[in-house]
Structure 1
Amino acid sequence: MKRFVAVLVMPLLAVSLASCASSPGADANPAGLWGDKAQGSPWLELTEDGKVAGNDGCNRIAGQWSEAEGEIRFEQLSSTKMYCLGIDPWLSSAVTAQVSGDNMLVLDADNAEVGTLKRGG
């Protein structure tokens, strides 16, 4: 009888444990708003279909994004080139990004950190 119960329970236990286990960030979807759309604030919005739009606080940003091996890659990113006093255009130099929880670390072509955006509303 004990063997019969073990044969029935073990597969159920294995399935239950497997459904709870996941790799870090596996449930994190980078699509959505990063930053704050308030005037003068940097932000990016990543859509499910791979498009990105944003603003560095002054200049509009547009392009595409993809994700591979936990890294976000910005492709064909373009930006307007208006001069705005007191605005740091760091976001327009984005090439890749890494997401950890509600923070997006933005990196440039030299893999140097250029800034961080928080997940928006």
Structure 2
Amino acid sequence: MGNVQEDIVGTWRSEEPGAPELTFAEDGAVSGTDGCNRIVSRYTVAEDRAVIEAFATTKMACQGVDTWLGAASEAVPDGTELQILNSGGDAIGVLERVE
């Protein structure tokens, strides 16, 4: 793996219902959707991962959409995949790089 800051910048998405997605900018901003609601935050790089501050989010109710991405606390890039961890360090999902 290379430089986490360089590796994480870009857009990452899942094909799950609602198409959860995160975009990491070079300036430390992160934004996207949990598949239902818009989410925005900031991130910092620590070792092999990005640590994500708590998201600011809209509060729409969406039936049939699992909003697991809203619980993201860390993101670990690994090639074309981004493993998402919650605040307990548990893996909660995977996003794929959008080319």
TM-score (norm 1): 0.73
Q: Are the counterparts in 1 of residues 43 and 50 from structure 2 also a CA contact under 8 Å?
A: yes
Structure (1 or 2) with the greater strand fraction: 2
Write out the 4+ residue segments of structure 1 that deviate beyond 6 Å after TM superposition. Answer: none
Aligned residue in 1 for 2:83: 105
Identity percentage over the alignment? 36
RCO greater where, 1 or 2, for CA within 8 Å and sep 6 or more?
Answer: 2
Query: Are residue 49 (structure 1) and residue 27 (structure 2) matched?
Result: yes
Aligned residue in 2 for 1:63: 41
Which is higher, the Rg of structure 1 or of structure 2? Answer: 1
In structure 2, stretches of 5+ residues that fail to align are: none
- Mapping of residues 1-121 of structure 1, within 5 Å: 24-26=1-3, 28-35=6-13, 40-121=18-99
Q: Are the counterparts in 1 of residues 73 and 86 from structure 2 also a CA contact under 8 Å?
A: yes
C-alpha RMSD of matched pairs (Å): 1.9
Q: Are the counterparts in 1 of residues 20 and 32 from structure 2 also a CA contact under 8 Å?
A: yes
TM-score (norm 2): 0.88
In structure 1, stretches of 5+ residues that fail to align are: 1-23
How big is the shift at 1:68?
1.3
Aligned residue in 2 for 1:3: none
The amino acid that maps onto 1:93 is: A
Q: Are the counterparts in 1 of residues 82 and 97 from structure 2 also a CA contact under 8 Å?
A: yes
SS in 1 for 2:8: coil
